[in-house]
Amino acid sequence: MAQQPSSAAWVKLPAAVVLVACEFLDAASLGRLEICGKSSLGDKTRAWSEKAAGVARGTLAQLSNKRLLAAQARVQELIPSSAGGVVGFANNVRRWSEEVPFDEFAFTVVLSSESDGFQTTVFPFMRLVADRNEMGAYNNVASFVLFPSGPGADNMSPLMRDASLACAEGTQLDTFKDLHMPRAYMVCTRKADGAAVKVAFWDTDDVDEDDWAAMAYDQDSSECTVRFDYGELMIGHGSSQDYQYHMTLNIMFDRRTSQVLAFCSGIYHSTPDLSGSNMSNEMFLALLHARLDESMRARPLPVSEVGSRILNHEHPTSQTAANVANSYGVI
């Protein structure tokens, strides 16, 4: 196939000149250009070095020349080049909370009790629904809803069954809590890489008295609620004495079958001046990503007692184990 004249002209340009031309491209165009024209750069290593020579590296000293120039292009794209650009920079585009996408995550809720030894019921990998139109009957209960699902899952909760029976028998909430020690846990999993982190924890004392009283009073209702309030948010939201959040969990279940119908939840300010206002879904999304990214960074694993004895030459090892240890420089 004959080479196009424009391509031929591009090839004739010295590599350094090609990179000077790249200075006028935005980040997206620069990426496309690199893919299409990388074979035309000739001595590209020297060209990247020459182009990066005049760039202030700051704290990016460890980056390669290529990555440094890519970073500079992205920053330059965001810096206003005129007075009109200042207006564009200051225009912070916000999404409505319902428009924030959570489909890249799956949420697991666990309920535990201790009336007959420690027992858990796991409701795995649920989709978080923030769109009011999709929440159905629960659109006024909380900020978002998790609907249990899964092939063959009956979604029955022994803890909810015990709560319903206790209410029918007139058991006081404190008595129920002492006997069953109800707790709830939420975990978030990112679908792209399988990373998982703790989101929130609700202890026994977080069970709400008002919803318990309502369930005990209305024995004819087919749908009941056990509410955990003031759960501890565990995704590193930077709380302080003056600025804190808590998370709620409303467990909506069928009184007759004890099947969980939905988990209605939300994140709210717990400071008196801001009480009742909730965390934006945008901030919730950012905190989830930050904690999930952190969970995937390499961390040193704890060394067992036997492992410590091996490292200290106090325990016999096979030759294979010794070779592995030597390869990591620990023996």
Instruction: Give the whole-angstrom CA distance, residue 56 versus residue 68.
Output: 9
Cα dihedral 59/63/67/70 (nearest 10): 10
% of the chain exceeding 90 in pLDDT: 37
pLDDT at 116 over 50: yes
Instruction: Give the whole-angstrom CA distance, residue 318 versus residue 330.
Output: 15
Q: Which amino acid is at 117?
A: G
Say what the pLDDT of residue 26 is.
63
- Token pair, residue 7, equals 């391509």
Say what the pLDDT of residue 47 is.
73
pLDDT at 163 over 90: yes
pLDDT at 14 over 60: no
Nearest 5°: the CA angle 184, 138, 142 is 55
Whether the full predicted model's pTM is greater than 0.85, yes or no, is no
The closest of 102, 62, 67, 78 to 26, measured between CA atoms, is 78
- SS3 call for 165: helix
CA 250 to chain CA centroid, Å, is 21
Most confident of 2-6, 40-44, 89-93: 89-93
Could you give the C-alpha distances from 118 to 21, 76, 121, 181, 215, in angstroms and in order?
67, 57, 11, 9, 25
328 or 136, greater pLDDT: 136
Strand pairing class (128-129; 144-146): antiparallel
pLDDT at 237 over 90: no
Instruction: Give the whole-angstrom CA distance, residue 133 versus residue 99.
Output: 12
pLDDT at 102 over 50: yes
pLDDT at 238 over 60: no
Contact of 195 with 187, CB cutoff 8 Å: no
DSSP line for 42-91: SSHHHHHHHHHTTS--GGGTTS-HHHHHHHHHHHHHHS-SSHHHHHHHH-
Q: How does residue 262 score in pLDDT terms, banded at 50, 70 and 90?
A: very high
Nearest 5°: the CA angle 125, 127, 131 is 165
pLDDT at 63 over 60: yes
Mean pLDDT of the chain: 79
Say what the pLDDT of residue 202 is.
96
pLDDT at 314 over 70: no
Q: What is the 3-state secondary structure (H, E, C) of 246-301?
A: EEEEEEEEECCCCEEEEEEEEEEECCHHHCCCECCHHHHHHHHHHHHHHHCCCCCC
Lowest mean pLDDT among 57-71, 215-229, 280-294, 300-314: 300-314
Contact of 127 with 160, CB cutoff 8 Å: no
Contact of 245 with 239, CB cutoff 8 Å: yes
pLDDT in tens, 239-258: 555 567 889 999 999 998 99
- Token pair, residue 188, equals 């978030």
Q: How does residue 328 score in pLDDT terms, banded at 50, 70 and 90?
A: very low
DSSP state of 315: S
The distance in angstroms from the start CA to the end CA of the chain is 59
Tokens 């998982």 appear where?
Answer: 196
pLDDT in tens, 175-200: 999 999 999 999 999 999 999 999 99
